[in-house]
Every structure is written in structure tokens, then in C-alpha cells.
A and B are shown apart, each in its own frame.
Chain A
Amino acid sequence: MLSRILAIFRARNLEFVRDRGSMSWNIVLPVALVFGLSFIFSAENRPEYTVGVLQQDSELDRDAHPFLSTRYVDFVVVEDEVDGQRKVARHQLDLLVQFDGADRYWVNPDSPKGYFAELALLEATRGQITREPIRGDAVRYVDWVLPGILGMNMMFSSLFGVGYVVVRYRKNGFLKRLRATPLKAMEFVIAQVASRLMLIMVITTFVFLGTRYFLDTRMDGSYLLLLLIAFVGAVALVSMGLLVASRVTSEELAGGLLNLITWPMMLLSGVWFSLEAADEWVRQLAMVFPLTHILNSARAVMLDGAGLVEVGPALLMLAAMSVAFLSVSAALFRWRPS
């Protein structure tokens, strides 16, 4: 029995080692993730609190007030007062301060971190500052994270449910069999996209309504607009899956590529935590992912009641990504292994 196990073990190892693409990805992916994450989150004395500084100049002047030199606080410039207040209400900022002579600050009394940041502020200003409590509904974490979880589920379903399956079809010859029928490549692609879209929309709607009913999650905007965002976003993600699957023939390589895409997207698109405090380049990098646009616009609708005008640019970006992904995947598509 052992010799049979060893024979299979050896054969499998040889197969893996000889599949250079899969092996490379299996090594490169975790290394890239570890290095990438350590680089992004490596700053020593990482700030514990985030305080918005309301000012017109985009460069923060730390000499404007001694409080702005407080350690363990990440000071971010806020140019729009309403936007800053909204973020305080939603716990995205622990405080919003303004030092322009008539010093004042905004705090959400329901925010634990806001409470401690306020103590530090009062210590630094000796109480010589006007308090402006934000009277708005604090956004619970579940409200904030729900779009992230739904988006992440859409992402995995789209990329693995389409990309991985198409690669399997190609590898086992099912695509070749279809090629021998009058079926066109575009028809096959459309069928795959439509099938997965329907599945995603049904599951996402079901989960959304379930959480809305049982957890009373926040929904300030239009259901129809949210549905549109989910639809356009799912098309973009499914198209991305097709792009990965367009000519890969190894399921392991496909898995590696899909992981390479999904993990950074999951970490940088704001699924679990906000990137408000992240460096500008990280936030810019996140904009290349369709999931970022999906989550930003879904949260805008669900938490801020945003309308079509506000989320329109994100929808256009998702549509452009879909066209690009589909065009390239159609050009690269192969029915059978080379």
C-alpha cells in the first residue's frame, strides 16, 4: 500500500514541479502578499486614532496647533465640512477639528475612540475649543461591512465560478466538444456570463434582504440603484473571470491567478476596513480594482443615500472595465489547449 501511495505522491510532485506556471504562482503569490502587506502596514508607531483637520490647504500644517503633533493620531486633511461631519457620524473619523482662530471640533458621542481622542484634544487645548456634537445615526460595523461581504461574495463567485470552470471545461475537452457545434465563442461567453449573473443577483439579493430583515441594516438610498450597481459590478467581475480563463489550461495556474487577483482586491478594496487612513498611493492603487468601485458606490447608496449622479462615475468605470475585459478575453479566447 505504501509503495502505491509513494508512487502517486512522486508522480503528483513531478506533475506539479513540471507545471512551471502553477509552481511559480504558488511561490510568488504568498511572497508577494506577505511583502505587500508588510509594506503597506509596516509603519512603526501606527496611529491609533484618525482625526480630520478642516482646512482649505491640502497640506497639513502641524505648527498650526500643538494638538496636531500628538503621537498615535493620524491627522488627515478634510476640505469639505459636510463630508467631514458625515465621516465623524459614521466613525470613519474619531474627531473633526478646525483651528482657524474660532477653534472648534466635532465628535460623535457614541464613538468610543472619539471619546478618547476628545480627551487628548481637550488636554492639548486646555478646553479652549468649542464642542460640536454630531447628532446623526452612527453607522454600525455591520452596516458598513455588509456591502463588503456581499461584494466579496460576488467577487469569488464571479472569478472562480466562471474563470475556474471555463479552465476546467477547456482542460477536460468539453469546450472542444462545444467547438464542434455551431456554437460561437461569443454565445458561449454570453451564456456563461448570464448564468453566473443570474446566480449572483439571486444570492446577493437574498442575503441583502435577509440581513436587512434580521439585522435591520441601513439602507438610505434607492433599492433600484443598488440593484443596478450590483448588476454592473457583477458584469465587470465576471468579465474579469473570463479574462483569466481566456486561454489558461491548467486549473492550478488558474487558481493561482485568481488568488493573485482576489486577495489584493479583498484587502485593498475596503471589504473589511476603510482605506481612509491609508496612504494616498494605496487608495489610488485600490481604484484599479472593480470591487473598490462597487463597494464605494454601494456604501454611498446604502449609508449616505447617494443617487445616480453621485455613483454615476463609478458605474461608468465599471462598464468601461467590463468592455475592456470582455474585448481582451474574446481576442485571447481559446477553445482547447494549445
Chain B
Amino acid sequence: MENKNIALAQEAAYADELTQPVPQKRKINRAKLQENIWGWIFVSALVLGTTVFVYIAFILSLWISFTDYDAFIMTTFWEGLGSIHPDGFWHWYQYMFTAEGAYGVAGEMEDFWGTLGTTCFYLIGIPIGMVLSLGIAVLMTRDIKLSGTFRVIYYIPTVASTVSIAVMWTNLFGDGGFMATVFGINLLAAGTHPALQKMCVILLTVWKGLGGTVVLFVAGLNGVNASYHEAAEIDGANAWSIFWRITMPQLYPTIFYVLVTSVIGGMQIFIEPNLIFGNYPATGNMATSGTRDNIPFVGYIFGVFNNGEWAHASALGIILAIIIFLLTLIQFALDARRDKA
């Protein structure tokens, strides 16, 4: 019955369309055409760069992860691309989850989950940094003098070269050094628990990332509509509830932006642990538990790459891309649910 109705309606619509005069195809005038052409010319470099250096590179990376490309066996790139792995496409994706290691020291799976866990451990710095910088931003947006100067001072570590900072940090926290004598914090001494050693990197990322977040939060807080504050104050709300009920909801977009970008960046942490704790062991025999514990996931990819297992490293890279994509997706999904509620 219903189907028939729909069919009838469709027919009627079709008939209607037929009876309507066909709109004359308008010629795009010259000016419009020129704007189109010039628009494409202006964006062409960016589009070309993005396509070649990101999208095609990603597809190639995916392709390489299916091959048996090994730097020490194959000489040319084309040879590597042509050699689909004899054990099947998914060899490297299965291999990274094998429990028995190639050298019998530690299985690939242990390294995979271990380094991934380390990366996630380093993410602890994000909430700490956000709470701290929110507090500092609130202090800065109060009606005080020198707030511009403070902003510049807090931003200095953010622009400083990470490599230099990491070298400095290693010595600042060195065994029996400044931090040990002044604050009694001896994180890098031999035999310290790996979790405590990792705190050293977390402190570095929090210290270094604080300025950027503070500046963003200050901008966000300045953008909060002042009239709401006044209205709430007249209604007799105290500072605490004004902050939670009025400031925070309006600051939410900034917080979300900072969270998403710092999770994406935090999953790719490499330089700080690499310079403080050293490289991923060059071969299985050189593995020492002390350093292996603190290697992040990108350090693992880099180590595998240095060992010449390019196909394996590519597969790990693809996994990292998927993890970051999923994390971002989860955050956006939570954001959407919050909007609905």
C-alpha cells in the first residue's frame, strides 16, 4: 500500500519535472572562470605538497608494510616495493604480536606493548600541565600588572630547542646533581625504578609545554563574555561558582583544542626520552632492561628502522597512525555527546 503510494508520488514528481521548462544552462562568465582558475593556482602548491608528501607517502608506507623490505638485503627501492612478504600481506602485523623474540631476549609483543605503555605513561603530563596552566592563566587574567611580562617568561621554555633542553635536563637531574642536592630528587640514579625515571620526562614535558597552554587559556579567558560575570555577581554568586558555572563552559572549546592537540603530540613523543635514556637497543643482544623500559613507541619505530627492518617499522608506523586516529575519534565522539547533553 505504502509502496504504491510512494511510487505514485515519484511518478507525479517525475511528470512535474517533465512539464517544467528546462532551466537554461548558464554559462559561467569570464570573471567567474578566472576566479576559479586563480583559486586553484593559489592553492596548487599546498595541495600538491599535501598529496605527495603526506597522502602518497602514507599509501607507500602502507604498501611497504606489506612487503619484506629489508635495508641489508635489498638494494633499491623498487626491489623492496616488489617483494610482497612470502608469509603473506599481514606478516608484520602478526609478527609484532609474537611472544617469542627474534633473538630470544624479549618477544616483539613485549616490546610493542611495553613501548606503547611507556608512551601512554608519558601522557600523564597532559592533565597535570592543563590543570597547572589553567591555574596560572586564571592568576594572570586577574587585574594585575606585569601580566604581559609573566606571559613572555612562561613562554620561553616552549620556544627553546627541545634537544638543548633535554641535554640540560639530563644534567639537572643527574645522579647527585642539582635536583638531588637541592630538592632531594634523584630520579636518574642507577637502579631507580623505571616509573620514577619516567617522571623526569613528564616533568620536562610539563615544564616545557606550560607556556603554550597558558597563552591559549589566557586568550580563552579574555574571550569569556564579561557581562555574564557581572550578571552572576549581581545575583550573588561567589567567585568559585562563577568560575565553574560560567567561565569553564565558555573555556571548554579551548580546553578541547588543547587536549586534542596535546594527545596527538604526546603519542609522538620521541626527543626527550631518546636524549635522556638513549636509543632503542641496536640489536637484541645489547638490550638492557634499564633503558628499554623508558623507550616510547616512536623510539621503538626509530630503533627498528635503524636495524634496517624497514617493512616492520612501516607496519608499526601504520599502527601508530591508527591509534592516534582512534584516540582523536574518541575525543570527538565524547565532545559530540557532551554537546547533546
Q: Do A and B truly interact?
A: no
A-to-B contact residues, CB < 8 Å? none
B-to-A contact residues, CB < 8 Å? none
